[in-house]
Amino acid sequence: MTDLFNRAPTDMLDRSAGDFFIARRRAFFSSIMAFLRRRPNRLLSFEDVRERLHLGGPIYRGLQTVLVRSILGSLNRYQDFDRKFMPVHSRTANRWMRVNRAWYEETGLPPVVLYKVGEVYFVVDGNHRVSVAREQGQEYIEAEVREYSVRVPLGAELRPEDLEKLGAQVEFYERTGLDRLCPQTELHVTILGGYERLLEHIAAHRYFMGLDLRRPVGEEEAVTHWCKTLYQPVRRAIEESGIMASFPGRTTADMYLWVMDHRHFLLEHKETKSIGLVEAARNFIERLREGEIPPPE
Protein backbone atom coordinates (compact mmCIF):
# COMPACT_ATOMS: atom_id res chain seq x y z
CA MET A 1 0.00 0.00 0.00
CA THR A 2 1.25 3.48 -0.84
CA ASP A 3 2.50 5.31 2.21
CA LEU A 4 -0.48 7.40 3.26
CA PHE A 5 1.74 9.80 5.17
CA ASN A 6 3.20 11.00 1.87
CA ARG A 7 -0.17 11.57 0.21
CA ALA A 8 -2.45 14.56 0.56
CA PRO A 9 -5.76 13.86 2.27
CA THR A 10 -7.59 15.50 -0.69
CA ASP A 11 -6.64 12.41 -2.78
CA MET A 12 -8.48 10.14 -0.36
CA LEU A 13 -12.12 9.27 -0.93
CA ASP A 14 -12.42 7.44 2.31
CA ARG A 15 -12.85 9.68 5.33
CA SER A 16 -11.05 7.14 7.46
CA ALA A 17 -7.98 7.45 5.27
CA GLY A 18 -7.97 11.18 5.97
CA ASP A 19 -8.21 10.51 9.69
CA PHE A 20 -5.29 8.10 9.49
CA PHE A 21 -3.25 10.71 7.63
CA ILE A 22 -3.94 13.23 10.41
CA ALA A 23 -3.09 10.69 13.12
CA ARG A 24 0.20 9.79 11.40
CA ARG A 25 1.05 13.46 11.01
CA ARG A 26 0.43 14.06 14.69
CA ALA A 27 2.67 11.12 15.58
CA PHE A 28 5.39 12.48 13.27
CA PHE A 29 5.43 15.96 14.77
CA SER A 30 5.16 14.52 18.26
CA SER A 31 8.30 12.44 17.58
CA ILE A 32 10.15 15.60 16.48
CA MET A 33 9.16 17.44 19.67
CA ALA A 34 10.17 14.44 21.77
CA PHE A 35 13.59 14.42 20.06
CA LEU A 36 14.11 18.15 20.60
CA ARG A 37 13.09 17.87 24.25
CA ARG A 38 15.15 14.71 24.67
CA ARG A 39 12.20 12.98 26.26
CA PRO A 40 11.09 9.59 24.90
CA ASN A 41 7.58 9.45 23.48
CA ARG A 42 7.13 5.69 23.28
CA LEU A 43 4.54 3.45 24.83
CA LEU A 44 5.33 1.37 27.88
CA SER A 45 6.11 -2.29 27.30
CA PHE A 46 4.14 -4.49 29.68
CA GLU A 47 6.88 -7.13 29.71
CA ASP A 48 9.45 -4.51 30.73
CA VAL A 49 7.19 -3.34 33.56
CA ARG A 50 6.50 -6.91 34.72
CA GLU A 51 10.18 -7.85 34.69
CA ARG A 52 11.47 -4.74 36.44
CA LEU A 53 8.69 -4.28 38.99
CA HIS A 54 8.05 -7.96 39.83
CA LEU A 55 4.30 -7.82 39.40
CA GLY A 56 1.94 -10.13 41.24
CA GLY A 57 -1.39 -11.47 39.98
CA PRO A 58 -3.39 -11.08 37.85
CA ILE A 59 -6.89 -10.79 39.30
CA TYR A 60 -9.85 -10.65 36.94
CA ARG A 61 -11.80 -7.41 37.45
CA GLY A 62 -14.46 -7.90 34.79
CA LEU A 63 -15.96 -5.37 32.40
CA GLN A 64 -15.15 -1.75 33.28
CA THR A 65 -15.31 1.73 31.78
CA VAL A 66 -11.72 2.98 31.52
CA LEU A 67 -10.37 6.47 30.93
CA VAL A 68 -8.68 6.31 27.53
CA ARG A 69 -5.78 8.61 28.43
CA SER A 70 -4.81 6.26 31.28
CA ILE A 71 -3.88 3.57 28.72
CA LEU A 72 -0.14 4.09 28.38
CA GLY A 73 1.26 0.76 27.25
CA SER A 74 0.80 -2.43 25.30
CA LEU A 75 1.59 -6.10 25.65
CA ASN A 76 2.97 -6.62 22.15
CA ARG A 77 2.26 -3.54 19.97
CA TYR A 78 4.14 -0.88 21.93
CA GLN A 79 6.40 -0.17 18.93
CA ASP A 80 3.47 0.57 16.59
CA PHE A 81 2.04 3.55 18.47
CA ASP A 82 3.40 6.56 20.35
CA ARG A 83 2.57 7.55 23.93
CA LYS A 84 -0.76 9.06 22.81
CA PHE A 85 -1.51 5.91 20.81
CA MET A 86 -1.05 7.65 17.46
CA PRO A 87 0.19 5.24 14.73
CA VAL A 88 3.90 5.56 14.02
CA HIS A 89 3.94 3.21 10.99
CA SER A 90 1.88 3.22 7.80
CA ARG A 91 1.73 -0.57 7.90
CA THR A 92 -1.05 -0.25 10.46
CA ALA A 93 -3.22 1.75 8.02
CA ASN A 94 -5.60 -0.96 6.77
CA ARG A 95 -6.59 -2.23 10.19
CA TRP A 96 -6.69 1.25 11.72
CA MET A 97 -9.05 2.50 8.98
CA ARG A 98 -11.35 -0.52 9.31
CA VAL A 99 -11.76 0.22 13.01
CA ASN A 100 -12.22 3.91 12.27
CA ARG A 101 -14.96 3.23 9.72
CA ALA A 102 -16.73 1.06 12.28
CA TRP A 103 -16.51 3.98 14.71
CA TYR A 104 -18.24 6.30 12.19
CA GLU A 105 -20.88 3.69 11.39
CA GLU A 106 -21.46 3.15 15.11
CA THR A 107 -20.87 -0.54 14.60
CA GLY A 108 -20.63 -2.29 17.92
CA LEU A 109 -17.00 -3.18 18.62
CA PRO A 110 -16.08 -5.69 21.32
CA PRO A 111 -14.51 -4.36 24.54
CA VAL A 112 -10.74 -4.05 24.51
CA VAL A 113 -8.74 -6.28 26.85
CA LEU A 114 -6.47 -4.48 29.30
CA TYR A 115 -3.99 -5.22 32.04
CA LYS A 116 -4.04 -2.75 34.93
CA VAL A 117 -0.94 -1.96 37.01
CA GLY A 118 -1.43 0.76 39.60
CA GLU A 119 -3.33 3.46 37.72
CA VAL A 120 -1.82 2.54 34.33
CA TYR A 121 -3.40 0.28 31.71
CA PHE A 122 -1.77 -1.88 29.03
CA VAL A 123 -3.53 -3.13 25.90
CA VAL A 124 -3.65 -6.90 25.48
CA ASP A 125 -6.16 -6.83 22.63
CA GLY A 126 -7.56 -3.74 20.92
CA ASN A 127 -4.57 -1.47 20.23
CA HIS A 128 -6.18 -0.04 17.08
CA ARG A 129 -9.49 0.52 18.89
CA VAL A 130 -7.66 2.52 21.57
CA SER A 131 -5.78 4.49 18.90
CA VAL A 132 -8.99 5.38 17.04
CA ALA A 133 -10.68 6.32 20.32
CA ARG A 134 -7.82 8.73 21.12
CA GLU A 135 -7.91 10.26 17.64
CA GLN A 136 -11.69 10.73 17.78
CA GLY A 137 -11.55 12.38 21.20
CA GLN A 138 -13.34 9.55 22.96
CA GLU A 139 -12.90 9.94 26.71
CA TYR A 140 -13.83 6.45 27.94
CA ILE A 141 -13.73 2.94 26.51
CA GLU A 142 -15.29 -0.35 27.54
CA ALA A 143 -12.67 -2.86 28.65
CA GLU A 144 -12.24 -6.29 30.13
CA VAL A 145 -9.67 -5.76 32.87
CA ARG A 146 -7.18 -7.96 34.68
CA GLU A 147 -5.21 -6.29 37.45
CA TYR A 148 -1.63 -6.98 38.54
CA SER A 149 -0.40 -5.97 41.99
CA VAL A 150 2.68 -3.78 42.33
CA ARG A 151 4.63 -2.59 45.38
CA VAL A 152 5.17 0.98 44.15
CA PRO A 153 2.61 3.60 43.06
CA LEU A 154 2.21 3.99 39.28
CA GLY A 155 0.36 6.97 37.84
CA ALA A 156 -0.29 8.67 34.51
CA GLU A 157 3.16 10.31 34.60
CA LEU A 158 4.93 6.92 34.34
CA ARG A 159 7.47 6.72 31.49
CA PRO A 160 9.83 3.96 30.31
CA GLU A 161 12.84 5.81 31.67
CA ASP A 162 11.33 5.67 35.19
CA LEU A 163 11.41 1.89 35.38
CA GLU A 164 15.03 1.54 36.51
CA LYS A 165 14.51 3.70 39.62
CA LEU A 166 11.15 2.11 40.38
CA GLY A 167 12.75 -1.32 40.00
CA ALA A 168 15.37 -0.36 42.59
CA GLN A 169 12.57 0.73 44.93
CA VAL A 170 10.77 -2.59 44.46
CA GLU A 171 13.96 -4.53 45.21
CA PHE A 172 14.46 -2.44 48.37
CA TYR A 173 10.93 -3.29 49.52
CA GLU A 174 11.46 -6.97 48.73
CA ARG A 175 14.70 -7.11 50.72
CA THR A 176 13.41 -5.16 53.72
CA GLY A 177 9.65 -5.71 53.74
CA LEU A 178 9.34 -2.02 54.66
CA ASP A 179 6.07 -1.53 52.76
CA ARG A 180 4.57 -4.37 54.80
CA LEU A 181 6.17 -3.60 58.16
CA CYS A 182 5.59 0.18 57.97
CA PRO A 183 2.66 0.47 55.56
CA GLN A 184 2.22 4.22 56.11
CA THR A 185 5.83 4.94 55.11
CA GLU A 186 6.37 5.30 51.38
CA LEU A 187 10.07 5.62 50.67
CA HIS A 188 11.26 6.85 47.28
CA VAL A 189 14.90 7.77 46.54
CA THR A 190 16.21 9.64 43.48
CA ILE A 191 19.88 9.78 44.55
CA LEU A 192 22.09 7.32 42.68
CA GLY A 193 22.86 4.35 44.91
CA GLY A 194 20.48 5.66 47.58
CA TYR A 195 18.73 2.38 48.28
CA GLU A 196 22.05 0.60 48.83
CA ARG A 197 23.02 3.26 51.36
CA LEU A 198 19.74 2.81 53.19
CA LEU A 199 20.30 -0.94 53.35
CA GLU A 200 23.72 -0.31 54.86
CA HIS A 201 22.23 2.05 57.41
CA ILE A 202 19.57 -0.48 58.41
CA ALA A 203 22.23 -3.20 58.72
CA ALA A 204 24.32 -0.96 60.99
CA HIS A 205 21.23 -0.15 63.05
CA ARG A 206 20.55 -3.87 63.45
CA TYR A 207 24.12 -4.47 64.64
CA PHE A 208 23.97 -1.78 67.31
CA MET A 209 20.51 -2.89 68.38
CA GLY A 210 21.99 -6.33 69.04
CA LEU A 211 24.75 -4.78 71.17
CA ASP A 212 22.27 -2.70 73.17
CA LEU A 213 19.81 -5.55 73.70
CA ARG A 214 22.52 -8.19 74.13
CA ARG A 215 20.71 -10.65 71.89
CA PRO A 216 20.34 -11.44 68.20
CA VAL A 217 18.02 -9.08 66.35
CA GLY A 218 16.02 -10.33 63.37
CA GLU A 219 15.83 -8.46 60.09
CA GLU A 220 12.15 -7.57 60.40
CA GLU A 221 12.59 -6.35 63.96
CA ALA A 222 15.50 -4.15 62.88
CA VAL A 223 13.63 -2.71 59.89
CA THR A 224 10.55 -1.93 61.98
CA HIS A 225 12.63 -0.31 64.74
CA TRP A 226 14.66 1.72 62.23
CA CYS A 227 11.51 2.94 60.52
CA LYS A 228 9.71 3.97 63.70
CA THR A 229 12.61 5.38 65.74
CA LEU A 230 14.84 6.90 63.05
CA TYR A 231 13.30 7.38 59.63
CA GLN A 232 9.80 8.49 60.64
CA PRO A 233 10.96 11.09 63.22
CA VAL A 234 13.46 12.53 60.73
CA ARG A 235 10.81 12.53 58.01
CA ARG A 236 8.43 14.46 60.27
CA ALA A 237 11.12 17.03 61.07
CA ILE A 238 11.83 17.48 57.37
CA GLU A 239 8.17 17.79 56.40
CA GLU A 240 7.37 20.20 59.24
CA SER A 241 10.23 22.47 58.15
CA GLY A 242 8.85 22.89 54.62
CA ILE A 243 12.41 22.67 53.26
CA MET A 244 11.45 20.27 50.46
CA ALA A 245 9.77 23.14 48.59
CA SER A 246 13.31 24.33 47.81
CA PHE A 247 14.21 20.97 46.23
CA PRO A 248 11.69 20.20 43.48
CA GLY A 249 12.17 16.75 42.03
CA ARG A 250 13.78 15.47 45.23
CA THR A 251 12.14 13.44 47.98
CA THR A 252 12.07 13.26 51.76
CA ALA A 253 14.14 10.07 51.56
CA ASP A 254 16.79 12.00 49.60
CA MET A 255 16.87 14.60 52.38
CA TYR A 256 17.21 11.80 54.93
CA LEU A 257 20.36 10.61 53.15
CA TRP A 258 21.75 14.16 53.12
CA VAL A 259 21.03 14.41 56.84
CA MET A 260 22.98 11.18 57.38
CA ASP A 261 25.95 12.70 55.53
CA HIS A 262 25.67 15.90 57.55
CA ARG A 263 25.62 14.00 60.84
CA HIS A 264 28.72 12.07 59.77
CA PHE A 265 30.41 15.37 58.90
CA LEU A 266 29.60 16.89 62.31
CA LEU A 267 30.98 13.88 64.18
CA GLU A 268 34.05 13.47 61.96
CA HIS A 269 35.03 17.13 62.35
CA LYS A 270 34.33 17.03 66.08
CA GLU A 271 31.74 19.80 65.96
CA THR A 272 29.84 17.70 68.47
CA LYS A 273 30.56 14.57 70.51
CA SER A 274 27.19 13.01 69.78
CA ILE A 275 24.09 14.02 67.90
CA GLY A 276 20.91 12.17 66.98
CA LEU A 277 19.49 12.08 63.49
CA VAL A 278 16.53 14.34 64.28
CA GLU A 279 18.83 16.95 65.83
CA ALA A 280 21.17 16.58 62.84
CA ALA A 281 18.23 17.12 60.51
CA ARG A 282 17.25 20.36 62.22
CA ASN A 283 20.88 21.53 62.24
CA PHE A 284 21.24 20.71 58.54
CA ILE A 285 18.00 22.50 57.59
CA GLU A 286 18.91 25.58 59.64
CA ARG A 287 22.35 25.82 58.03
CA LEU A 288 20.84 25.38 54.58
CA ARG A 289 18.46 28.26 55.16
CA GLU A 290 21.17 30.51 56.54
CA GLY A 291 23.44 29.72 53.60
CA GLU A 292 26.19 28.27 55.79
CA ILE A 293 26.36 25.16 53.60
CA PRO A 294 25.68 24.82 49.87
CA PRO A 295 22.49 23.09 48.74
CA PRO A 296 23.14 19.39 47.99
CA GLU A 297 22.80 18.21 44.39
Please give the pLDDT value at position 68: 96
User: What pairing do the DSSP bridges indicate for beta strands 120-125 and 71-74?
Assistant: parallel
What is the reported pLDDT for 235?
94
In degrees and rounded to multiples of 5, residue 30 shows phi and psi of -65, -40
CA distance 175 to 259: 23
Contacts 24+ apart (CB under 8 A), 289-292: 289/243
Whole-number pLDDT of residue 244: 94
The one-letter amino acid at 270 = K
Q: What length is written for the chain? A: 297
pLDDT attached to residue 174: 95
Q: Are 208 and 222 a contacting pair, CB within 8 Å?
A: no
Tell me: cis bond preceding 248? Omega within 30 of 0 counts: no
Residues forming beta bridges with residue 144, ordered by sequence position: 63, 113
DSSP string, 173-209: HHHH-HHHHSTT------STTHHHHHHHHHHHHHHHH
Specify the pLDDT at position 219. Answer: 96
Q: What is the pLDDT along the chain (297 residues), one digit of tens a residue?
A: 444 445 444 443 477 777 888 888 887 877 787 677 777 788 999 999 999 999 998 999 999 999 999 999 999 998 999 988 999 988 888 899 989 988 888 788 899 999 999 999 999 999 999 999 999 999 999 999 999 999 998 998 888 888 989 999 999 999 999 999 998 888 899 998 999 999 999 999 999 999 999 999 999 999 999 999 999 999 999 999 999 999 998 999 999 999 999 998 888 887 777 888 999 999 999 999 988 888 887
For the entire predicted model, the pTM comes to 0.82
Pairing type for strands 71-74 and 44-45 reads parallel
Sign of CA dihedral 54, 58, 61, 67: positive
Q: Please, are residues 130 and 68 in contact by the beta-carbon 8 Å criterion?
A: yes
